[in-house]
Amino acid sequence: MSIEEIQNEIIDEFSMFEDWEERYQYMIDLGKDLPLIDDQYKTDNNIIKGCQSKVWVHAELKDDKIEFTADSDAIITKGIIAILIRVFSNQSPKDIIDANMDFIDEIGLKEHLSPTRANGLVSMIKQLKMYAIAYQTQLK
Amino acid sequence: MFNINEIRKDFPILSRTVNGKPLVYFDNAATSQTPQQVIDVIVDYYSNYNANIHRGVHSLSQEATDKYEQARHTIQKHFNAKHAHEIIFTSGTTHGINLVANGFSSILKAGDDILVSALEHHSNIVPWQMLCERTGANLKVIPMNQEGELVIPEFDALLSKNTKLVFVNHVSNALGTINPIEYIIKQAHLVGAAVLIDGAQSTPHIKPDVQALDVDFYVASAHKMCGPTGQGMLYGKESWLKKLPPYQGGGEMIAEVTFEKTTYAELPHKFEAGTPNICGGIAFGAAIDYMNTIGFDTIASYENELLVYATKQLQNIEGLTIYGTSKQKTSVISFNLDGIHPYDVGTILDKLGIAVRTGHHCAQPIMDFYSIPGTVRASFAFYNTKEEIDALITGIKKAKMMLS
Q: Which of B343, B351, B402 sits opposite A74 (nearest CB)?
A: B343
Q: Provide the mean pLDDT of chain B.
A: 94
Could you tell me the domains of chain B?
4-30+295-403 (3.90.1150.10), 39-293 (3.40.640.10)
Q: Which of A21, A24, A77 sits opposite B343 (nearest CB)?
A: A77
Q: What is the pLDDT of residue A113?
A: 58
Distance from CA of A64 to the nearest CA of B (A): 36
Percent above pLDDT 70 for chain B: 99
Q: Which of B340, B351, B374 sits opposite A20 (nearest CB)?
A: B351
Distance from CA of B403 to the nearest CA of A (A): 7
Q: Are B273 and B95 a contacting pair, CB within 8 Å?
A: no
Q: Are B272 and B88 a contacting pair, CB within 8 Å?
A: yes
Q: Are B340 and B11 a contacting pair, CB within 8 Å?
A: no
Higher pLDDT, residue A41 or A50? A41
Q: What's the pLDDT tens digit per position in B264-289?
A: 788 999 999 889 999 999 999 999 99
**φ, ψ (nearest 5 deg) of residue B228:** -80, 165
Does the bond joining B268 to the residue before it have cis omega, within 30 degrees of 0?
yes
SS3 labels along A86-125:
HHHCCECHHHHHHCCCCHHHHCCCHHHHCCCCCCCHHHHH
**Amino acid, res. A129:** K
Q: What is the pLDDT of residue B252?
A: 67
Q: How confident is the model at residue B371 (pLDDT cuts 50, 70, 90)?
A: very high
**Secondary structure (DSSP) of B309-347:** HHHHHHHTSTTEEEE---SSB-SEEEEEETT--HHHHHH
- CB-CB neighbours of B368 under 10 Å: 12
Distance from CA of B330 to the nearest CA of A (A): 26
Give the separation between CA B138 and CA B122, rounded to whole angstroms. 17
Distance from CA of A37 to the nearest CA of B (A): 18
Q: What is the pLDDT of residue A117?
A: 61
Q: What's the pLDDT tens digit per position in B61-72?
A: 999 999 999 999
B362 is catalytic: yes
**φ, ψ (nearest 5 deg) of residue B164:** -110, -25
Q: What is the pLDDT of residue A50?
A: 63
Q: Are B304 and B277 a contacting pair, CB within 8 Å?
A: no
| B contact test, residue of A75, A109, A111, A116 with most B CBs within 10 A | A75
Q: What is the pLDDT of residue B57?
A: 86
Q: Are A21 and B402 a contacting pair at CB < 8 A?
A: yes
SS3 labels along A9-53:
HHHHHHHCCCCHHHHHHHHHHHHHHCCCCCHHHCCHHHECCCCCC
DSSP 8-state secondary structure symbol assigned to residue B222: G
**Amino acid, res. B292:** N
Torsion of CA B126, B128, B134, B140, to 10 degrees: -120
Give the separation between CA B346 and CA B166, rounded to whole angstroms. 35
**Secondary structure (DSSP) of B222-254:** GGGTTS-SS-EEEEE-HHHHHHSPPSS-SSSSE
Q: How confident is the model at residue A3 (pLDDT cuts 50, 70, 90)?
A: very high
Q: What's the pLDDT tens digit per position in A65-82?
A: 999 999 998 898 899 999
Q: Are B266 and B255 a contacting pair, CB within 8 Å?
A: yes
DSSP 8-state secondary structure symbol assigned to residue B92: S
Q: Are A24 and B351 a contacting pair at CB < 8 A?
A: yes
| A contact test, residue of B21, B336, B343 with most A CBs within 10 A | B343
Nearest chain B alpha carbon to A73: B341
Give the separation between CA B392 and CA B261, rounded to whole angstroms. 61
Q: Are B343 and A119 a contacting pair at CB < 8 A?
A: yes
Q: Are B344 and A52 a contacting pair at CB < 8 A?
A: no
Nearest chain A alpha carbon to B349: A21
Q: What is the pLDDT of residue A83?
A: 94
Contacts of A47 in chain B (CB under 8 A): none
Give the separation between CA B357 and CA B343, rounded to whole angstroms. 9
Q: How confident is the model at residue B15 (pLDDT cuts 50, 70, 90)?
A: very high
Give the separation between CA B68 and CA A133, rounded to whole angstroms. 56
Q: What's the pLDDT tens digit per position in B17-53?
A: 999 999 999 999 999 999 999 999 999 999 999 999 9
Whether the predicted pLDDT of A129 surpasses 80: yes
Q: Are B402 and A52 a contacting pair at CB < 8 A?
A: no
Q: Which CATH number fits domain A3-139: 3.90.1010.10, 3.30.70.20, 1.10.486.10, 3.20.20.70?
A: 3.90.1010.10
Q: What's the pLDDT tens digit per position in B175-195?
A: 999 999 999 999 999 999 999
Q: What's the pLDDT tens digit per position in B138-168?
A: 999 999 999 999 999 999 999 999 999 999 9
Q: How confident is the model at residue B306 (pLDDT cuts 50, 70, 90)?
A: very high
Whether the predicted pLDDT of B54 surpasses 90: no
H or E element that contains B258: none
Q: Are A53 and B402 a contacting pair at CB < 8 A?
A: no
